[in-house]
């Protein structure tokens, strides 16, 4: 991969400063959630706001903009067109959203994260509500500035998933919601386990950390480019993809599958960033193209690979070596433990059958908030009512209800639908790949990773998400594959 256009080469030379500032912001974000003392938030918020303003100033530099416009009229390679497309997306944002809004958004979301963390610890939404109110107000302003055709929420969706609209999301859920409800009715009378004793058993954290590292090593990763830490909410961040990618894991005191699958999930994200062609590093296309495609990689590894019978058979000796209590459980016991199905309160702990109903709830509430059809102060009660309607369970407090997710504190409104989109794409990948079960059974993860790298990872953000998915699987978003996968597995 190369950049033959002299104009693109000049653009990329100028872009290095912007990349460096984004690199610093990523490192600051990772530190904020992993290492930073709570009272450091004041200085961190100020620094984040100033960097955000500086990036906007550099993006809007007259000479830089002229170069982008010049390149847009030239004959370019696919990769070079990707560079221009990604920069034009950024330019649209920075041209239309005033610097004071960019700076205030960066400042408010840094403060909101600390407020959310405190509110969750106290199970008190009122602590977080003023910050969420401001986040929603700013999101509305940003949506209005960016413009939209049908709904202000579409402008926010597009920030996270290029080209995604409410109409796309509605089409996906119009297939998934009734299909999942039918499947849940069948599962409830089939004898499939709703509980497992291992969910209540404690484990030794250090032993679990060692098991996770050995399992990830079995899949294969470049240790000198990858690290694992601990945070309240697991996440992945490419500090300098594909050379420095980091994940975090959370370790509750019992139920070892939670840290195991959060690690495999985040590792799926990391593999994507680590698989981007090195020639694209430090450029606008040198990262994953979108959150939905990114989520397809994590959910592919977490669910379709990680919860399969073949994977259980492969890793059960590792688990038994590190967790002595597993000696009395067969591989079949572990498989059903990994695949318990029941309506639950916490999204990150939800099984793969009910998970997308959690996303549907958040999607609908976000659209209502952005449209001004529901007040922020009314969100907890609406959340509880929708949770009971969709899943038949009701939160006992705000911590296991409206405060369970970190996303709104980051200002990530329009993000949640990308989780379901990721599940949809992951299922399409499974059926397009064809050889998955045999490869997992034999431990041939190199073959799986090579397929993913050649069709998805290496291209970074070269192609728009819908085009990349079509190139990889033969069609764009088709939720019928996800229903097919779930129905075949849980029938």
Same-domain status, 445 and 477: yes
Boundary residue ending a domain (142, 160, 178): 160
Distances (CA, A) of 123 to 112, 180, 457: 15, 30, 40
CA angle 464, 160, 237 (to 5 degrees): 100
Q: What is the mean pLDDT of residues 287-314?
A: 97
CA angle 186, 188, 190 (to 5 degrees): 65
Give the residues across from 227 on adjacent strands: 246
Phi-psi map region of 244: left, alpha, beta (phi>0 left; psi -120 to 50 alpha) = beta
Higher-confidence residue: 2 or 66? Answer: 66
Same-domain status, 100 and 181: no
Q: What is the mean pLDDT of residues 284-305?
A: 97
Higher-confidence residue: 133 or 103? Answer: 133
Q: What is the mean pLDDT of residues 307-318?
A: 98
Which residues make Cβ contacts (< 8 Å) with residue 251, sequence separation at least 6?
205, 208, 209, 230, 259
* Mean pLDDT estimate for the chain: 95
Question: Which residue from 259, 274, 339 is spatially nearest to 307, judged by alpha carbons?
Answer: 339
| Residues 324-346 as b or e (16 or more Cβ within 10 Å = b) | eebeebebebbbbbbbbbbbbbe
CATH number of 476's domain: 1.10.1370.30
Q: Per-residue pLDDT tens for 353-377?
A: 999 999 999 999 999 999 999 999 9
Same-domain status, 174 and 205: yes
Residue 79 resides in a domain: yes
Q: What is the pLDDT of residue 89?
A: 95
Same-domain status, 127 and 270: no
Boundary residue ending a domain (160, 186, 210): 160
What is the rounded CA–CA span in Å between residue 451 and residue 115?
43
3-class state of residue 67 by DSSP: helix
The answer to pTM > 0.85 is: yes
Residue 476 resides in a domain: yes
Same-domain status, 423 and 274: yes
Residue 1 resides in a domain: no
Q: Note down the domain range covering 150.
A: 6-160
Residue 439 resides in a domain: yes
Q: Per-residue pLDDT tens for 418-467?
A: 999 999 999 999 999 999 999 999 999 999 999 999 999 999 999 999 99
Higher-confidence residue: 380 or 188? Answer: 380
What is the rounded CA–CA span in Å between residue 400 and residue 244?
33
Say yes or no to pLDDT of 416 above 90: yes
Residue 29 resides in a domain: yes
Boundary residue ending a domain (128, 160, 192): 160
Same-domain status, 380 and 414: yes
Q: pLDDT band at 232, cuts 50/70/90?
A: confident
Distances (CA, A) of 299 to 193, 209, 221, 268, 316: 22, 21, 18, 7, 20
Same-domain status, 249 and 324: yes
Domain count of the fold of the chain: 2
Distances (CA, A) of 240 to 3, 219, 462: 20, 22, 17
The length of the chain, given as a count of residues: 491
Q: What is the mean pLDDT of residues 12-17?
A: 96
Same-domain status, 441 and 341: yes
Same-domain status, 207 and 329: yes
What is the rounded CA–CA span in Å between residue 427 and residue 63?
45
Q: pLDDT band at 99, cuts 50/70/90?
A: confident
Strands 236-240 and 226-230: unpaired
Question: Which residue from 287, 306, 249, 309 is spatially nearest to 22, judged by alpha carbons?
Answer: 287
Same-domain status, 247 and 208: yes
Same-domain status, 220 and 138: no
Say yes or no to pLDDT of 1 above 70: no
Same-domain status, 61 and 47: yes
Tell me the percentage of the chain whose pLDDT exceeds 90.
Answer: 91
The first and second tokens of residue 172, run together, are: 């996906």
Which residue's entry shows tokens 């954290």? 205
Q: What is the pLDDT of residue 110?
A: 85
Task: Please measure the distance between the N-terminal and C-terminal CA atoms of the chain and give it in whole angstroms.
Answer: 46
Cis upstream peptide for 410 (omega within 30°)? no
| Residues tagged active-site | 266
What is the rounded CA–CA span in Å between residue 163 and residue 143?
14
Q: What is the pLDDT of residue 303?
A: 97
What is the rounded CA–CA span in Å between residue 421 and residue 442?
29
Phi, psi (rounded to 5 degrees) for 206: -65, -40
- In terms of Cβ atoms closer than 10 Å to its own Cβ (0-12, 13-18, 19+), residue 484 is middle
Residue 117 resides in a domain: yes
Annotated binding site for Zn(2+): 265, 269, 295
Q: What is the mean pLDDT of residues 227-239?
A: 90
What is the rounded CA–CA span in Å between residue 305 and residue 312?
9
The first and second tokens of residue 300, run together, are: 């592919």
């Amino acid at each position: 991969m190369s950049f033959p256009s002299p104009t693109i080469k000049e653009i990329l030379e100028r872009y290095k400063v912007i990349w460096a500032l984004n690199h610093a912001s990523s490192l600051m974000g990772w530190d904020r959630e992993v290492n930073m003392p709570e009272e450091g938030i004041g200085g961190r918020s100020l620094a984040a706001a100033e960097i955000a303003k500086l990036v906007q100033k550099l993006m809007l530099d007259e000479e830089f903009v002229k170069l982008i416009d010049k390149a847009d009229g030239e004959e370019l390679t696919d990769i070079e067109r990707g560079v221009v497309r990604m920069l034009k997306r950024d330019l649209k944002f920075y041209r239309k959203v005033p610097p004071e809004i960019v700076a205030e958004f960066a400042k408010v979301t840094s403060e909101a994260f600390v407020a959310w963390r405190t509110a969750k610890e106290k199970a008190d939404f009122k602590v977080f509500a003023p910050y969420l109110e401001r986040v929603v107000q700013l999101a509305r302003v940003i949506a209005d500035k960016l413009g939209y055709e049908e709904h202000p929420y579409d402008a926010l969706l597009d920030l996270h998933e290029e080209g995604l609209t409410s109409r796309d999301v509605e089409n996906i859920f119009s297939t998934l919601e009734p299909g999942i409800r039918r499947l849940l009715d069948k599962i409830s009378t089939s004898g499939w386990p709703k509980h497992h004793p291992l969910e209540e058993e404690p484990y030794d954290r250090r032993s679990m950390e060692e098991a996770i590292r050995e399992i990830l090593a079995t899949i294969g990763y470049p240790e000198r480019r990858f690290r694992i830490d601990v945070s309240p909410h697991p996440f992945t961040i490419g500090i300098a993809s594909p050379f420095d990618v980091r994940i975090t894991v959370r370790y509750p005191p019992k139920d070892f599958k939670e840290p195991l699958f959060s690690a495999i999930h985040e590792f799926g994200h990391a593999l994507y960033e680590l698989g981007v062609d090195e020639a694209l590093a430090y450029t606008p296309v040198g990262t994953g193209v979108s959150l939905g495609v990114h989520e397809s990689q994590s959910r592919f590894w977490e669910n379709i690979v990680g919860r399969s019978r073949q994977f259980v058979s492969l890793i059960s000796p590792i688990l038994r070596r590190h967790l002595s209590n597993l000696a009395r459980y067969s591989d079949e016991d572990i498989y059903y433990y990994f695949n318990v199905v029941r309506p639950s309160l916490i999204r990150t702990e939800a099984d793969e059958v009910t998970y997308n109903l959690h996303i549907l709830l958040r999607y609908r509430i976000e659209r209502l908030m952005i449209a001004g059809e529901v007040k922020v102060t009314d969100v907890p009660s609406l959340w509880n009512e929708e949770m009971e309607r969709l899943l038949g369970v009701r939160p006992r407090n705000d911590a296991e209800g409206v405060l369970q997710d970190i996303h709104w504190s980051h200002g990530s409104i329009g993000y949640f639908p990308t989780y379901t989109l990721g599940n949809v794409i992951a299922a399409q990948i499974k059926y397009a790949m064809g050889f998955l079960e045999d490869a997992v059974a034999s431990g041939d993860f190199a073959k799986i990773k090579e397929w993913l790298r050649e069709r998805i990872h290496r291209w970074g953000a070269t192609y728009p998400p819908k085009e990349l998915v079509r190139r990889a699987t033969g069609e764009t978003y088709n939720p019928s594959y996800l229903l097919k996968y779930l129905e075949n597995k849980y029938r």
